[in-house]
Amino acid sequence: MNKALSMAPKPVGLARKSSRGQMITIVNTLGTRIAANFYQPGDTLPIEQKLADSLHVGRNALREAVKVLSGKGLISTTPRAGTKVRPRDEWNMLDPDVLKWHADPEVASDGFMLDLIELRLIVEPQAAELAAIRATREDIARILSAYEAMADSNGDLEKRLVADIEFHSSILKASHNSVLNHVKYAIATYLKAHARLGRAFDNEHGEEDLERHRKIATAIATGNAKTAHQLTLDILDLNRSHFNSLETSTN
């Protein structure tokens, strides 16, 4: 489906929602359209009444949604210029909502996916090393439980995805660094987009990937920091190679 057509304005259907529920839905609708370049950087959004009518929402709910999107760096509003989409490099790209909108297969560009892989390569090996040093028994139990859930997914890709996200999120949490912990949203976005784009590993490579996760979990559980760092670096390098090979084969 053409991206512009799929993101074209449709009634949001908010009549029975609370005011806050309406606002959240408008934020997600407009945020997804902006992330998908339906409204591109520099574009001026339709005037307030026209936009509210196209969404079938009230102007008050729309105004609150515009404030939220402004706070995330996506748009700016001035009395004379109206509401404009800001340049992409001014967006708060680590905001959980902004990341969530980019997990949509129609939004997740190759460049953005590679940016996320680079972020993971910078952050996750060190987080795994810290986890091996700092993890509590509860942290280790959470990591091992996530691994077991991956192993027990039995070909259910959605269950595997949920467990995979939990595995990597648990390692970040076990680093006991509150800033690193919030990178989990970026990792979840990458894994969701990767799966939704149909780029999951096949059965053979999936088993190899599972074994690498087991080794990382074991290294952290046994306090082997350097091994945890290297194994995480290795798995992310392979992930990047897998992504690049798929891009080459589709071009």
Q: Where are the domains of the chain?
A: 3-89, 108-250
Q: Which DSSP string corresponds to 37-101?
A: TSS-TTPBPPPHHHHHHHHT--HHHHHHHHHHHHHTTSEEEETTTEEEEPPGGGS-TTSHHHHHH
Q: Please report, rounded to a whole number, the percentage of residues in the chain having pLDDT higher than 70.
A: 87
Output phi, psi for 154, to 5 deg.
50, 50
pLDDT digits (tens, 9 = 90+) for 167-184: 999 999 999 999 999 999
CB 218 within 8 A of CB 171: no
**Residue 26: CA atoms inside 13 Å, Cβ hemisphere, count?**
29
Report the b/e string of 41-67 with b at 16+ CB within 10 A.
Answer: beeebbeeeebbeebebeeebbebbbe
Q: Which residues contact 22 (CB under 8 A, 6 or more apart)?
A: 12, 14, 57, 58, 61
CATH number of 108-250: 1.20.120.530
What lies within 8 Å, CB to CB, of 80 at 6+ separation is none
Tokens representing 214 are 């087991």
pLDDT given for residue 251 in this prediction? 54
- Whether residue 236 has pLDDT greater than 60: yes
- pLDDT beyond 70 at 2: no
Contacts of 165 (CB under 8 A, 6+ apart): 184, 187, 188, 191, 192
pLDDT reading at 11 higher than 70: no
- For the chain, the average pLDDT equals 88
pTM to 2 decimal places: 0.83
- The third-level CATH classification (topology) of the domain covering 3-89 is Arc Repressor Mutant, subunit A (1.10.10)
Which stretch of DSSP H or E encloses residue 195? Answer: helix 184-196
pLDDT in tens, 67-111: 999 999 999 999 888 999 999 999 999 999 999 999 887 788 888
| pLDDT band with cut points at 50, 70 and 90 for residue 1 | very low
CA–CA gap between residue 183 and residue 201 (Å, rounded): 23
pLDDT digits (tens, 9 = 90+) for 115-164: 999 999 999 999 999 999 999 999 999 999 999 999 999 888 899 999 99
